[in-house]
Amino acid sequence: MLSIEYVITHGRANPVVVYRIDTSARTLGVAEQVAQGTLDAVRRMFRTTPPDGFQIFDDNDDLIFRSWENVPLHSAIIEQHLEDSTS
């Protein structure tokens, strides 16, 4: 199960959490689709503090994805795993 935090990132050193949900998604791709698909609804729920991005956490509450970063965190995790596997 993955969790999604809808956050305000613009003009902030650290993201400010506006809303958090737990999903039944088991893959990052599905969780990302859920987050993208519900971002506008969450913005409407919090009109005075609308989120401008989201971040996704795994079962251990480890951060695995941030929508505002150019290179997703999971890419580095996958790369490290591949390096360890081939060594």
CB-count burial class (<10 Å; 0-12, 13-18, 19+) for 51? buried
Residue extents of the structural domains in the chain: 3-86
Q: Alpha carbon of 52 to those of 7, 61, 65, 70, 72: distances in Å?
A: 6, 21, 15, 15, 17
Q: Would you place residue 21 in the very low, low, confident or very high pLDDT band (cuts 50, 70, 90)?
A: very high
Q: What is the pLDDT of residue 16?
A: 96
Q: What confidence tens digit (pLDDT) does each residue in 22-81 have?
A: 999 989 999 999 999 999 999 999 999 999 999 999 999 999 999 988 655 555 555 554
Q: Give the global pTM.
A: 0.79
Query: What secondary structure letter does DSSP report for 20?
Result: E
Q: Is the pLDDT assigned to residue 85 strictly greater than 80?
A: no
With CA atoms as reference, report the closest residue to 57 among 85, 86, 15, 12.
15
Q: Where is 78: in which H helix or E strand?
A: helix 73-86
